[in-house]
Amino acid sequence: MLMVKTEKKENRFQGGLQYIGEYRGVRAAVIFDTEGLIIDHWEKDGLDIEIFSPLMLSMLSNINAVLKKLGEQPANIAVVKNKDSWLTVHRVGELIMAVIAEIETDDLLRVRINQAAEMIKDHMQEKYPLLFR
């Protein structure tokens, strides 16, 4: 009998989100497109992801409107902290990754977010080279 080794394809969207989610204090991580359609997500607290992504798009749109009035380029990364939470919106090509964490989470979370963004970017370049230059 001929045995064929099948290679399990790694879901790098989920892998990137889980990498972020493993970090202490992270409540949710979402990847969505520029229209708010969710591609993948990881969440711990039962956060309503269907509302989260359009709100993050709205926040990014408002920030970019202000930047445009200042003569600046659109934001690739936006970080907002309040007394309870730390929200990060990170543009990865035509996709957007949003992360919400507890305010006590340390700054090493940024490193994880950047590494996850690179994982997603590499996956997109490999899978869709014409769309992701």
* 1 found inside a domain: no
* 76 found inside a domain: yes
Task: State the pLDDT at residue 10.
Answer: 57
* 36 found inside a domain: yes
pLDDT above 70 for 66? yes
* 133 found inside a domain: no
Q: Which has more confidence, 46 or 35?
A: 35
* CATH classification of the domain holding 99: 3.30.450.30
How many domains does the chain contain in total? 1
Rounded-to-integer distance, Cα 34 and Cα 53, Å: 10
* 3 found inside a domain: no
* 52 found inside a domain: yes
Which structural domain, as residue segments, surrounds residue 97? 12-127
Task: State the pLDDT at residue 132.
Answer: 59
* 5 found inside a domain: no
Q: Which amino acid, one-letter code, is at 88?
A: T
* 104 found inside a domain: yes
Confidence tier at 131 by pLDDT (50, 70, 90): low
Rounded-to-integer distance, Cα 127 and Cα 12, Å: 11
3-class secondary-structure state, position 108: helix
CB 74 within 8 A of CB 64: yes
pLDDT above 50 for 108? yes
